[in-house]
Amino acid sequence: MIMVGCSKADLTVRQSTLDPKGPVAQTQFDVFMATVWLVVVLFVLVGGLLVFAVIKFRSRPGDENKPAIVEEGHGNPLIEIGLITASIGALVIIAIPTLSAIWYTDEVPAEAIPTSKLSAWYPRVEGTRENYAKAVEEQVLEVDAIGKQWWFRFEYPQLGLTNDAKHSVPNEFVIPKGKAVRINLRSEDVIHSFWVPKLAGKVDLMPGRKNHLWLQADQTGHYYGQCAEFCGDSHAYMLFRVTVVEPAEFAKWVQAQKADAAPVPAANIKAEKGKALFAAKSCVMCHNVGGHFGAGAFAPDLTHVASRKTLAGAWLDNRNKDAQRALELKTGNTEASVEVDPATLKANLIKWIGSSGVAKDAAGKPTKDVKPGNRMHYYKMFNVAGLNETNQKFTDEELDCLAEYLLTLK
């Protein structure tokens, strides 16, 4: 019954380590299965002997007259040496694939680097570690993943997509299919952990320390990731996504990310109002919108917020739920994805912005943040007129205008 819970048949399994879609996840899966089979053999052996002993030495009629405590035996060297040898053997059987997997998953191996001609076992390019490091730097796509409470910021230092350059990518990052990607992991606050069960993981993002991992996806699609280290109030809502596309499409995506937001169409009065509110109500202090506002560097970059399939640390899904479910059932995999649904996105924007920092609703009942403890909660710290303790809530009309503005940021 428990094993059925791990079944792939029910397509809700979006984060399954038992369904690897790349070489790193496959290697981790293989180590897991090697261990499982060895343990199954041990279980059958030990359990079998136990059952055998219970049946063979069970109480029989006439045993009442025998002494209650039987005479103890003293050591059988053959059995003892045999058991020690078998235990060592079992450990070696587990250790070999485990160590080779640790080696393999730690650093991009030579076979994933185009110019390398050398062995899979030891990462060498033209013989030296220095040349190997250089080849990794030049030929492997690097993505920096930065953990924040409670969202991920992704940067592509080689491609000029960084927070410093006002082009960072929150919560959803894109990589080309079939290419090794080195992920550099950092944290700007507490310890988080990077985990995309179908591709790779988990490795912690530590404050004051550089960690890394690498991954490669062999199928295009939409992969689900999750912070896997308790990091505060909204740890459970700290998700992320990896979108895997064909290389040509990846180049287009990079160009699109570097572009500024288009001007708000003059006819869109609500969006114009929303843009003014965005500036007036202090959103602009934390969020960057390329081409419109450039001060914010602390919170997620919103230049292309309306093109993203998720919101609020990937906790809110901007796709049509029924359409997505239907597509998953039709294609038979959870990596298939429908596009953003503007109506769902708008509802999510209103829910997200409207709930943050609002302790009580209009009727005076306590409300629940979409993400408890989130930093948007503290927008009143800027002491903006109209957002003080007693009157901090956006009106429905203001929320509508803000959402309309953000919807123009494709």
Contact residues for ligand CUA, defined by CB under 6 A: 147, 150, 192, 227, 229-231, 235, 238
**Quick count: other Cβ atoms within 10 Å of Cβ 390?**
5
Least distance in angstroms from the C-beta of 203 to ligand CUA: 13
Q: At what angle do helices 342-355 and 396-407 cross, to 10 degrees?
A: 130
Supply 134's token pair: 């250089």
CB of 311 to ligand CUA, least distance (A): 17
78's tokens: 């053959």
Q: How far is the CB of 337 from ligand CUA (least distance, A)?
A: 24
Q: Least distance in Å: CB of 229 to ligand CUA?
A: 5
CB of 194 to ligand CUA, least distance (A): 9
Provide, rounded to whole angstroms, the least separation between the CB of residue 192 and ligand CUA.
3
Q: Nearer Cβ to ligand CUA, position 232 or 291?
A: 232
User: What are the CA-CA distances from residue 184 to residues 84, 209, 261 (Å)?
Assistant: 42, 10, 28
Judged by CB, which is closer to ligand CUA: 155, or 328?
Answer: 155
Min dist CB 206 to ligand CUA, Å, is 12
Q: How far is the CB of 142 from ligand CUA (least distance, A)?
A: 21
With respect to ligand CUA, which residue has the nearer C-beta, 230 or 382? Answer: 230
Smallest gap from Cβ 40 to ligand CUA, in A, equals 33
Residue 179: CB minimum distance to ligand CUA, A = 27
In whole angstroms, give the CA distance from residue 68 to residue 53: 17
Q: Which is nearer to ligand CUA, 187 or 408 (CB)?
A: 187
Of 238 and 312, which has the nearer Cβ to ligand CUA?
238
Contacts of 121 (CB under 8 A, 6+ apart): 100, 103
User: In the complex with ligand CUA, which residue's Cβ is closer, 235 or 304?
Assistant: 235
**Which of 48/207 has CB closer to ligand CUA?**
207
Nearer to ligand CUA, 121 or 230 (CB): 230
For residue 38, the minimal CB distance to ligand CUA (Å) is 32
For ligand CUA, which is the closer residue by CB, 192 or 287?
192
What's the distance, Cα to Cα, between the start and end of the chain in Å? Answer: 46
Closer of 231 and 316 to ligand CUA (Cβ): 231
| Choice between 238 and 271, CB closer to ligand CUA | 238
What residues does 216 pair with on adjacent strands? none
Q: What is the 3-state secondary structure (H, E, C) of the chain?
A: CCHHHHCCCCCCCCCCCCCCCCHHHHHHHHHHHHHHHHHHHHHHHHHHHHHHHHHHCCCCCCHHHCCCCCCCCCCCHHHHHHHHHHHHHHHHHHHHHHHHHHHHHHCCCHHHCCCCCCCCCCCCECCEHHHHHHHHHHHCEEEEEEEECCEEEEEEHHHCECCCCCCCEECEEEEECCCCEEEEEEECCCCEEEEECCCEEEEEECECCCEEEEECCCCCEEEEEEECCCCCCCHHHCEEEEEEECHHHHHHHHHHHHCCCCCCCCCCHHHHHHHHHHHHCCHHHCCCECCCECCCCCCCCCCCHHHCCEECCCCEECECHHHHHHHHHHHCCCCCCCCECHHHHHHHHHHHHHHCCCCECCCCCECCCCCCCCHHHHHHHHCCCCCCCCCCCCCHHHHHHHHHHHHCCC
